[in-house]
Amino acid sequence: MGFHTFDADRAARLDDPTRFEHCSVEELFGALAVDETATIADLGSGTGLYTSPLAAGVGHVYAVDVQPAMHDHYREAGVPANVGLVTADITGLPFAADALDGAVSTFTFHEFASPDALAECRRVLAPGARLVLVDWSAAGTGEGGPPTDERYDAADATGLLADADFTVPASTERRDTFTITARVPDRQGQN
């Protein structure tokens, strides 16, 4: 399904550091469980608020966004040397199968969620790799973020991930957001 794409004219609002109160970089790292050599993607990277601190702890980050204007905004702020800006829709990622050691997506799942997008995430993630999703929850108050009828709750998101052949070892609902850790089965089909 997926709902409207965040307006690039409002990109500056994404740079507000108080947004880390909803999800810290430490939380993303803890859920991703990758080492400093890992190649990961930030799916729907926007202005790079999360991308740059993630880049400080891994080998390479692909910052994937469908809107070139978001990358322009990120370039103006400064892009770390180990971040590659990729203009692409998540339904058609320009990566080889199994290319990524992990991926995150913050506050974007409601904009891209579809069986095709999750199948594409599954294709590019290596066996055993994790996909960490943090987004506004349909079970939340609606005081911040998109309208609640444009969101998913953790149960709906987990169902979509299971349909795409991910396992979901961890899922947390908070007041307004969910955090889901999904995982690609390893080569032996173990979860």
Ligand X SMILES: C[S@@+](CC[C@H](N)C(=O)[O-])C[C@H]1O[C@@H](n2cnc3c(N)ncnc32)[C@H](O)[C@@H]1O
Single out the residue of 40, 41, 86, 90 in contact with ligand X (rule: CB under 6 A). 90
Which region among 43-51, 72-80, 94-102, 121-129 touches ligand X (by CB under 6 A)?
A: 43-51
Residue the block writes with tokens 């800006």: 85
- Cβ at position 117, least distance to ligand X in Å: 6
Which residue pairs, CB below 8 angstroms and at least 24 apart, start in 164-167? 164/115, 164/118, 164/119, 164/121, 164/122, 165/122, 166/118, 166/122, 166/131, 167/191
Which region among 27-35, 66-74, 155-163, 166-174 touches ligand X (by CB under 6 A)?
A: 66-74
Q: Does 6 bind ligand X (CB under 6 A)?
A: yes
- Cβ at position 72, least distance to ligand X in Å: 11
Whole-number Å distance between alpha carbons of 140 and 104: 21
Whole-number Å distance between alpha carbons of 23 and 52: 15
Single out the residue of 53, 67, 80, 84 in contact with ligand X (rule: CB under 6 A). 67
Identity at 161, one-letter amino acid code: L
Angle between helices 115-124 and 154-163 (to 10 degrees): 60
Whole-number Å distance between alpha carbons of 8 and 65: 11
Single out the residue of 74, 95, 112, 136 in contact with ligand X (rule: CB under 6 A). 112
Single out the residue of 5, 148, 167, 171 in contact with ligand X (rule: CB under 6 A). 5
Give the interface size with ligand X as a residue count (CB under 6 A). 20
Residues near ligand X (CB under 6 A): 5-6, 14, 44-46, 49-50, 64-67, 70, 89-90, 106-108, 111-112
